[in-house]
A and B are shown apart, each in its own frame.
Chain A
Amino acid sequence: MAMPQQERFYLRRAPAERLPPPVTRAGVLGWLRVNLFSTPANTVLTVACLVLIVWAIPPVVRFFLTDAVWSGTDRTACLVLPAQPAPGACWPFVRTWLSYFVYGFYPVGQRWRVDLFFVALAFGIVWLLRLSAPRRDIGALYFFVVLPVLSFVLLHGAPWLGLAVVPTALWGGILVTIVVAAVGMVISLPLGILLALARRSAMPVVRLAAVTFIEFVRGVPLLTVLFMASVMLPLFVPERFAPDKLLRALIGVALFASAYMAEVVRGGLAAVPRGQYEAAQALGLSYWRMLALVVLPQALRVTLPNIVNTFIGLFKDTTLVFIVGIFDFLRTIEAARNDPNWAAPTIGVTGYAFAALFYFVCCYGMSRYASNVETRLGRADRR
């Protein structure tokens, strides 16, 4: 009796074979379907993008790589000739002028001093920006105190050390761009912190002075600040102290950057919870010890990505010193571009492409760093 009833049931003893996911969802095809061809409108967009890529990429590759001129000593290599009806970028132009782009008119025999300055600066930057580097307090001391003195001695010269004086009129190219950017950073960070603290101060006169300065500088274009520094500054000091042209531009850039840095630091200070200030006061710390030991380390850490972003802006803005007659990197490109020995149709684009590559590598590198730090800090806060 029991047997037939049992046969009516079916009991599976082993799990079924796992089926592969539907073809339309998995693998390359599935990815394509979800990401590129999910709807008719999406398909149209994809096709339009493909057309754009096919239209834009090959000419660029041809111009900069396959059709480019790679060897030569003057303009004849890059001219439009029957042998090369459509020459691409003229790279020998960059190779010939490269040392000018890097050092300007800095005396050839003294250029090791510039190289040493680049190395010292890179060392300082890596020390400060690597979050895992040891003793970053000493790093800060090196960067904000030792490095400026060392750089001045190296670049400007010190007769008592046997280093000949090189007037700033001879400096040029990437050297000047880096000097302007570095001075901007070294001055704007401490000054920006001071201004931010002053703006949050309880003392009305201090606060008013800081607000006026910050809002004034942020409200006018950098070019007017640079003009003020280069045209008006010599009027405001006794004639015999009239500052050097480069120094004037440096003062303009540094003051401008400080105002922007102040706002960034203020944002960081506002992000520190009030309990931190109160706990520090409860422990009996003085105002400056509270800042140095409790508040600033947290505020600067939180706002480090913004500081780097401000610095990217500053780095791009250094090109503006070109307009007040400083031989920065872009100005050397312009000067070389107009050299009759290299007058060829592709010289302009080649020079600008090289400059763009330099700025892009520097700025993109910094922005990747900033977003990495941001992710890391975010991870720490999510715990």
Chain B
Amino acid sequence: MTDEAQGFEIEAPAPLRRRQLRRLLDRRGLAIQIALLIVIAGLGYGAVFNAVQNLARAHVASGFGFWNNTAGFDISQTLIYYSASTSSFGRAFWVGLLNTLLVAAISIVLATVLGFAIGIARLSRNYLLARLAGVYVELVRNVPLLLQLLFWYNAVLKSLPELRDSLVLPGGSLLNSRGLFLPRPEFAPGFLAVVIALAAGVVAAIAWRALARRRRERSGVELPVFWPALALVCGLPLAAFVLAGLPLSFSFPVMGRFNVRGGLEILPEFAALTAALSLYTAAFIAEVVRAGVLSVSAGQSEAAHALGLRPAATLRLIVVPQAMRVIVPPLTSQYLNLIKNSTLAVAIGYPDLFQVFTGTVLNITGQAVEVVAITMAVYLTISLVTSFLMNLYARSTAVVER
């Protein structure tokens, strides 16, 4: 059906169509729009009217006055200072938001690395590897995330040995049912020099690349880029590290009688959520990557080979840029999904924004409308800002048709 239609497709004169639509808008269109407005306004008015009455009957306060009241509940993981007895609900909000961002950032990095690896493995010419990657994707994609999360938390992490029988991992980490205890890096003041050296190395590497490109464009002589850049980015900080007298030490976790002292504690809730989110999202990212690479037609690489580009250069200059244009938009929406899915933290009690706010704060204050509205506003802001940036990217990389 559609084939024949495409054969005869004729561009309709746009102004005529628009005039027809205008005519539709005049009477019936106007009536429909006004009716819709009235319905929406009526529903909104009814909702507000009922909410005011119901809240008054339940003696629930309204407004955002609770924001500065003392919270009075504990949070198990805080990245900034927080105390149950003195900190406000507002402070609890920021603690929760930072926890959400922490788990999201770490999971996004892990999911991206794993997802790209699996997506490329699925395209491998090695039959076994491609099949294994396929099995992983199908297995993980078709089981609900909440089930996977509960599995990691209840069946894996909660069944780890008790404190007394902690597993000692190579490198001085402890693993038991209370979490993972890593050596905590302690930075001496001299470490600042290393950070400055790293920044200088990055700037120098970028400058070297620009120089090499200008040289190539002027004289056709290729200067090596990768190895000098690597030497600058890694070598400079390393030299600074040695010269500043090794300004880094580790505080190792020590098993006490009732708890672990020292070290960096990673809650089992955090570990389970990170594992579930990154393994789940990696399966979707793998599919995105696969589709992106497949979207670059074989003719592109063949043409590149015909021009005399080596395989590595073909990949870097021809295939990857074109694949990325297809990959990045769905990749971003996977990132957004991951951030939204991190609300499942509430199922295992990881104190993310949703658990702290819509869970605990809602229970204490009872102000459902305000609390849910604030939570939604945060996620909505993240989503809208990201898709705005995404549109900018899509516009900047769009193919310019002749």
Chain B residues with Cβ below 8 Å from A209 are 36, 40
Chain B residues with Cβ below 8 Å from A206 are 32-33, 36
**A349 to B148 alpha-carbon distance, docked (Å):** 11
Chain A residues with Cβ below 8 Å from B36 are 205-206, 209
In the complex, the answer to whether A235 meets B51 with C-beta atoms within 8 Å is yes
In the complex, the answer to whether A323 meets B347 with C-beta atoms within 8 Å is yes
Q: How far is the CB of B124 from chain A (nearest CB, A)?
A: 7
Chain A residues with Cβ below 8 Å from B132 are 49, 52-53
In the complex, the answer to whether A275 meets B54 with C-beta atoms within 8 Å is no
With A202-B24, A221-B341, A223-B344 as contacts: A231 and B362 at CB distance below 8 Å: yes
Point out the residue from A219, A221, A330 that lies within 8 Å of B144, measured CB to CB: A330
With A45-B124, A219-B379 as contacts: A352 and B150 at CB distance below 8 Å: yes
Q: Which A23-39 residues sit within 8 Å CB-CB of chain B?
A: 35-36, 38
With A206-B32, A224-B375 as contacts: A360 and B143 at CB distance below 8 Å: yes
In the complex, the answer to whether A219 meets B384 with C-beta atoms within 8 Å is yes
Q: Which A329-383 residues sit within 8 Å CB-CB of chain B?
A: 330, 334, 337, 345, 348-349, 352, 355-356, 359-360, 363-364, 367, 381, 383
Binds A, one of B2-10, B69-77, B239-247: B2-10
In the complex, the answer to whether B372 meets A227 with C-beta atoms within 8 Å is yes
Point out the residue from B10, B37, B128, B346 that lies within 8 Å of A275, measured CB to CB: B10
Chain B 145-181 near chain A by CB (<8 Å), digits 1 or 0: 1110011001100110000000000000000000000
In the complex, the answer to whether A235 meets B368 with C-beta atoms within 8 Å is yes
**A184 to B282 alpha-carbon distance, docked (Å):** 27
Chain A 283-321 near chain B by CB (<8 Å), digits 1 or 0: 000000000000000100000000000001000110110
Q: Which residue on chain B has the smallest CB distance to residue A205?
A: B33
Q: How far is the CB of A189 from chain B (nearest CB, A)?
A: 21
Q: Which B323-377 residues sit within 8 Å CB-CB of chain A?
A: 340-341, 343-344, 346-347, 354, 358, 362, 368-369, 372, 375-376
Chain B residues within 8 Å of chain A by Cβ, number? 66
A10 close to chain B: CB less than 8 A:
no
Point out the residue from A224, A235, A363 that lies within 8 Å of B50, measured CB to CB: A235
A245 close to chain B: CB less than 8 A:
no
In the complex, the answer to whether A367 meets B146 with C-beta atoms within 8 Å is no
Point out the residue from A35, A202, A334, A383 that lies within 8 Å of B29, measured CB to CB: A202
In the complex, the answer to whether A203 meets B29 with C-beta atoms within 8 Å is yes
A234 close to chain B: CB less than 8 A:
yes
Point out the residue from B5, B159, B344, B383 that lies within 8 Å of A218, measured CB to CB: B383
In the complex, the answer to whether B2 meets A219 with C-beta atoms within 8 Å is no
In the complex, the answer to whether A273 meets B341 with C-beta atoms within 8 Å is no
Chain B 30-63 near chain A by CB (<8 Å), digits 1 or 0: 0011001100100000110011011101000000
In the complex, the answer to whether B51 meets A236 with C-beta atoms within 8 Å is yes
In the complex, the answer to whether B379 meets A221 with C-beta atoms within 8 Å is yes
Q: How far is the CB of A205 from chain B (nearest CB, A)?
A: 4
Q: Which A154-198 residues sit within 8 Å CB-CB of chain B?
A: none
A64 close to chain B: CB less than 8 A:
no
Point out the residue from A232, A278, A322, A381 that lies within 8 Å of B368, measured CB to CB: A232
Q: How far is the CB of A301 from chain B (nearest CB, A)?
A: 10
In the complex, the answer to whether B147 meets A224 with C-beta atoms within 8 Å is no
Q: How far is the CB of A90 from chain B (nearest CB, A)?
A: 13
In the complex, the answer to whether A348 meets B54 with C-beta atoms within 8 Å is no
B21 close to chain A: CB less than 8 A:
yes
In the complex, the answer to whether B146 meets A221 with C-beta atoms within 8 Å is no
In the complex, the answer to whether B54 meets A221 with C-beta atoms within 8 Å is no
Chain A residues with Cβ below 8 Å from B151 are 348-349, 352, 356
**A235 to B33 alpha-carbon distance, docked (Å):** 28
With A221-B379, A234-B54, A279-B5 as contacts: A356 and B143 at CB distance below 8 Å: yes
Q: How far is the CB of A131 from chain B (nearest CB, A)?
A: 15
In the complex, the answer to whether B343 meets A359 with C-beta atoms within 8 Å is no
A238 close to chain B: CB less than 8 A:
yes
A128 close to chain B: CB less than 8 A:
no
In the complex, the answer to whether A345 meets B159 with C-beta atoms within 8 Å is yes
Chain B 125-148 near chain A by CB (<8 Å), digits 1 or 0: 111110010000011011111110
**A239 to B362 alpha-carbon distance, docked (Å):** 20
A-B contact pairs, 26 of them (CB 8 A): A45-B128, A45-B129, A203-B25, A206-B32, A209-B40, A221-B341, A222-B340, A223-B346, A223-B358, A224-B358, A227-B358, A228-B372, A231-B368, A231-B372, A235-B50, A235-B368, A239-B57, A273-B9, A274-B12, A275-B9, A319-B147, A320-B344, A337-B154, A352-B150, A359-B143, A360-B142
Chain B contacts to A: CB under 8 angstroms: 1-3, 5-6, 8-10, 12, 21, 24-25, 29, 32-33, 36-37, 40, 46-47, 50-51, 53-55, 57, 124-129, 132, 138-139, 141-147, 150-151, 154-155, 158-159, 340-341, 343-344, 346-347, 354, 358, 362, 368-369, 372, 375-376, 379-380, 383-384
